[in-house]
Amino acid sequence: MALGKDYTGQDCSLSRGLELLGERWTLLVVQNALYGVRRFNDFQVRLDIPKAVLSDRLARLTEGGVLEKRQYQPSPPRFEYLLTDAGVELWPVIYSLSAWSHRNIGGEPPRLFRHASCGSGLLPSSDCPECGSIPPGEVEMYPGPGPKRTDPVSRAMNRPRRLLEPVVPA
Amino acid sequence: MALGKDYTGQDCSLSRGLELLGERWTLLVVQNALYGVRRFNDFQVRLDIPKAVLSDRLARLTEGGVLEKRQYQPSPPRFEYLLTDAGVELWPVIYSLSAWSHRNIGGEPPRLFRHASCGSGLLPSSDCPECGSIPPGEVEMYPGPGPKRTDPVSRAMNRPRRLLEPVVPA
DNA sequence: CTACCTCGGTTCAGTCATTGAACCCTGGCT
DNA sequence: AGCCAGGGTTCAATGACTGAACCGAGGTAG
């Protein structure tokens, strides 16, 4: 990750994971991909991230097998970044870290999550208390009490929706 | 986190969590604290981290309520850093990210984990497949097939042991 | 009493990453 | 012909990380 140096000498899987995912912005990009963001411009608008950094992060995540870059129309050529299966498997990591942060740092969450088919809120592990482990496609996201961004991408995301459902700004 | 700028403008808990935990080395420090490392020097030896950075990370984690600094002997004055309850709650986050990295990036793990009382390996969520959610104190860590560091702290850690049990280098 | 050792740091110059603004190119649209 | 959108690249300034050197309090061996 940062500073050209990797975590050489470290012997654990975590350090290898952090080389790919541990840089600034990277996990927020993955989070937004889970929320349905797919296009360069939409990531940029929603995250307020410098374009050069976004470009780098999308490229690394693509190399690393977390995202896949696809052309979604031939002309003008336009691209989107989709989560791979490996990328989707990051949902429990991202949710559990969000949940930890909410419990231990505070702040009102702008978005809440529930199991779409039974309506239960999720456990910190991202499991459903009634049904156990559930895939992200069955998780419904809906507005919570916290403050929300007002850019078009965030507004499109604030309507109740499943994870992974593509965001289409107005 | 990095660059004096925080993730201002972001509206999610995750960004607040990453301000505290998302810097280089921070999560590895917490991981090693879960593995039983407590002293400045032991972190430094095991992680090969610049002392200035370690000093900064321990201070931030202490401010942030993840660690607690304690003097464990009066003379000469010596200190240790213990995980708070909030810090211990990071175990599922760290384990699930490690497990993801192992599945999706590869490499042999130097350490494996099982539920001490029933002997089952852990699910990716860090739950026991037989007993469900278990506290870190009931997780036993034992050597896996992967390469291991040979510094004294790592060697002390490579004996089978519970999470959180203090590491005592030879 | 002196020299040396450990622990737990701090200081500092050099290197590398991030930022934000400016620019660029392709291909529509008017 | 001129303008716009999407998806980037370039570049100077700023800030973080690195590694080596240094430091001070308190033991301890000679």
Residue A160 to residue A114: CA distance in whole angstroms? 11
Point out the residue among A22, A31, A147 whose CB comes nearest to the CB of B24: A22
Model confidence at B5, pLDDT cuts 50, 70, 90, reads: low
**Long-range contacts of residues A165-168, Cβ cutoff 8 Å, at least 24 apart:** A165/A36, A166/A36, A166/A38, A167/A35, A167/A36, A167/A37, A167/A38, A167/A42
Domain extent, residue B52, equals 2-162
As a whole number, mean pLDDT of residues B5-17 equals 81
Query: What's A72's domain CATH number?
Result: 1.10.10.10
What is the per-residue pLDDT across A61-104, written as a single tens digit (0 to 9) for each?
Answer: 999 999 999 999 988 999 999 999 999 999 999 999 999 999 99
Checking if the pLDDT of B120 tops 60, the result is yes
pLDDT score at A5: 58
**Residue A32 touches chain B, beta carbons under 8 Å:** no
Classify residue A78: in a domain, yes or no.
yes
pLDDT score at B162: 98
Checking if the pLDDT of B7 tops 80, the result is no
Classify residue A169: in a domain, yes or no.
no
Residues 146-165 of B with CB under 8 A from A: 146-149, 154
What is the per-residue pLDDT across B39-95, written as a single tens digit (0 to 9) for each?
Answer: 999 999 999 999 999 999 999 999 999 999 999 999 899 999 999 999 999 999 999
pLDDT score at A129: 96
> When comparing pLDDT for A20 and A6, which is higher?
A20
Q: Which residues of A touch B16 (CB under 8 A)?
A: 101, 105, 107
Point out the residue among A21, A27, A125 whose CB comes nearest to the CB of B125: A125
pLDDT score at B37: 98
Reported as type and span, the H/E element at residue A82 is strand A78-83
Distance in Å from D4's C1' to A57's CA comes to: 27
Classify residue A114: in a domain, yes or no.
yes
Checking if the pLDDT of A158 tops 80, the result is yes
Classify residue B102: in a domain, yes or no.
yes
Checking if the pLDDT of B3 tops 50, the result is no
Which residue in chain A has the smallest CA separation from B94? A14
Residues 113-152 of B with CB under 8 A from A: 124-127, 133, 146-149
Q: Give Cα A82 to chain centroid, integer Å.
A: 11
Classify residue B169: in a domain, yes or no.
no
Classify residue B167: in a domain, yes or no.
no
Total domains present in chain B: 1
